[in-house]
């Protein structure tokens, strides 16, 4: 019952976003919101916190949907921080990874190794940089794709 209300709110928000030119409406991450919604519904049978998040999130979305004036920065921040809190809960309690987790891990790693190898092999720190970026992206994105395939990402 609660699930349907949240799903409807997500749908209405998406529609409002598509028809809106509000400055703070455009950057709302609806894709992430949809993924989070599916996860909350999936976990709510066995997790009280997820059940509470469903209520919280529904209220927040309805505030945005029924607001007559354009969204302001405060609404936007409220939306962002709620998604963040829920994401953190999913990572901690349900062992999920945020999308792009491995890229954000391997890209900086690739860059630092690239710089070191550039210095050692070519005696030129900038030669290693593109290599490092390429390796970081290749490894990170393939691990992300793998985690996604196994259903481990939010």
Instruction: Write out the residues near Zn ion by the rule CB under 5 A.
Output: 43, 47, 49-50
Query: Between 45 and 69, whose beta carbon lies closer to Zn ion?
Result: 45
Provide the minimum distance between the beta carbon of 63 and Zn ion in the complex, in angstroms, as a whole number: 23
Query: Between 36 and 50, whose beta carbon lies closer to Zn ion?
Result: 50
Provide the minimum distance between the beta carbon of 87 and Zn ion in the complex, in angstroms, as a whole number: 11
- Rounded Cα distance between 39 and 33, Å, is 10
Query: Between 90 and 111, whose beta carbon lies closer to Zn ion?
Result: 90
Buried b (16+ CB within 10 A) or exposed e, 102-138: bbebbbeebbebbbebbeeeeeeeeebbebbeebbee
What are residue 97's DSSP bridge partners? 153
Provide the minimum distance between the beta carbon of 60 and Zn ion in the complex, in angstroms, as a whole number: 17
Query: Between 10 and 107, whose beta carbon lies closer to Zn ion?
Result: 10
Provide the minimum distance between the beta carbon of 53 and Zn ion in the complex, in angstroms, as a whole number: 7
């Amino acid at each position: 019952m609660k699930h349907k209300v949240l799903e409807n709110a997500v749908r209405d928000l998406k529609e409002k976003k598509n028809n809106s030119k509000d400055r703070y409406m455009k950057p709302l991450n609806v894709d992430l919101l949809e993924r989070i919604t599916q996860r909350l519904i999936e976990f709510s049978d066995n997790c009280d916190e997820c059940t509470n998040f469903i209520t919280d999130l529904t209220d927040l979305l309805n505030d945005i949907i029924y607001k007559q004036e354009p969204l302001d920065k405060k609404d936007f921040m409220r939306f962002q921080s709620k998604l963040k809190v829920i994401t953190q809960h999913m990572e901690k309690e349900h062992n999920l990874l945020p999308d792009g987790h491995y890229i954000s891990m391997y890209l900086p790693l690739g860059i630092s190794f690239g710089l070191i190898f550039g210095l050692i092999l070519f005696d030129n720190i900038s030669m290693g940089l593109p290599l490092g970026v390429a390796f970081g992206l290749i490894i990170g994105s393939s691990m992300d794709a793998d985690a996604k395939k196994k259903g481990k990402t939010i």
